[in-house]
């Protein structure tokens, strides 16, 4: 099931702007290898889940996968064939706000070669350009 917050203060949020690079959450902290976002954007809960499934199907039961992003932001949309106006739309899905440099996923307990192949599959699912990084 896709991720979403358990409790929120407000159902809807303003769009906001993604400015600057990630000053935190930009290092490998739990595993040995990671997939880092090179661009900024919104990553939906469904996409995060698709990435998790792609990684776990490749890894089978080897290694350990860490998801470093969480969809905190509700994204609203207006139904099709609706006239403009009449207020803000209803919440459609949840998304994680990702700044350039954010670590999206981490893997530990596998070889570098396996981690690279795994993250190549995950990167295809992502709406932003990503790169493979190692623990520094």
Partner 1 sequence: MTQEVESLHVKRRTTRGTSNARRLRAAGSVPAVLYGHGEETVSIAVPATELSQALRHGSKFVDLAGDLSEKALLTDIQWDVWGNEVLHVDFTRVSADEKVQIQVPVELRGEAPGSKENGVVAHLIHEVTVECAATQVPEKIEVNINHLELDQQITVGDLKLPEGVTLDLQPEAVVVQCVPAQEEQEEEEVSASSEPEIIGRSESEEGGGSE
Given a contact cutoff of 8 angstroms between Cβ atoms, the answer to whether 102 and 26 are in contact is yes
Given a contact cutoff of 8 angstroms between Cβ atoms, the answer to whether 75 and 92 are in contact is yes
Cα–Cα distance, 38 to 19 (Å, whole number)? 13
Beta-bridge mates of residue 65: 107
Asked if 50 interacts with partner 1 (CB under 8 A), we say no
Cα–Cα distance, 40 to 101 (Å, whole number)? 8
Given a contact cutoff of 8 angstroms between Cβ atoms, the answer to whether 89 and 77 are in contact is yes
The pattern of x and - marking residues 69 through 108 that bind partner 1 according to CB under 8 A reads: -------------------x-xx--------xx------x
Asked if 67 interacts with partner 1 (CB under 8 A), we say no
Given a contact cutoff of 8 angstroms between Cβ atoms, the answer to whether 95 and 18 are in contact is no
Closer Cβ to partner 1, 24 or 83, answer by number: 24
Asked if 128 interacts with partner 1 (CB under 8 A), we say no
Q: Which of 109, 117, 124, 129 binds partner 1 (CB under 8 A)?
A: 109
Asked if 121 interacts with partner 1 (CB under 8 A), we say no
Using CB under 8 A as the binding rule, the residues of this chain from 19 to 38 that contact partner 1 are: 21-23, 26-27, 32
CB of 56 to partner 1, least distance (A): 6
Given a contact cutoff of 8 angstroms between Cβ atoms, the answer to whether 41 and 128 are in contact is yes
What residues line the site for partner 1 (CB under 8 A)?
1, 4-12, 21-23, 26-27, 32, 56, 61-64, 88, 90-91, 100-101, 108-109, 133, 135-136
């Amino acid at each position: 099931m896709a991720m979403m917050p358990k409790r929120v203060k407000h159902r809807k949020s303003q769009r906001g702007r993604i400015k600057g690079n990630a000053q935190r959450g930009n290092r490998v902290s739990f595993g040995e290898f990671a997939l880092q976002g090179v661009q900024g954007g919104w990553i939906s809960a469904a996409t995060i889940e698709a990435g998790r499934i792609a990684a776990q199907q490749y890894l089978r039961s080897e290694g350990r996968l860490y998801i470093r992003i969480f969809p905190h932001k509700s994204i609203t949309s207006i139904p099709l064939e609706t006239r403009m106006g009449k207020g803000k739309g209803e919440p459609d899905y949840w998304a994680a706000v990702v700044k350039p440099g954010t670590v999206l996923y981490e893997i530990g307990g596998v070889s570098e070669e396996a981690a690279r192949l795994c993250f190549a599959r995950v990167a295809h699912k992502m709406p932003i350009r990503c790169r493979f990084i190692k623990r520094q």
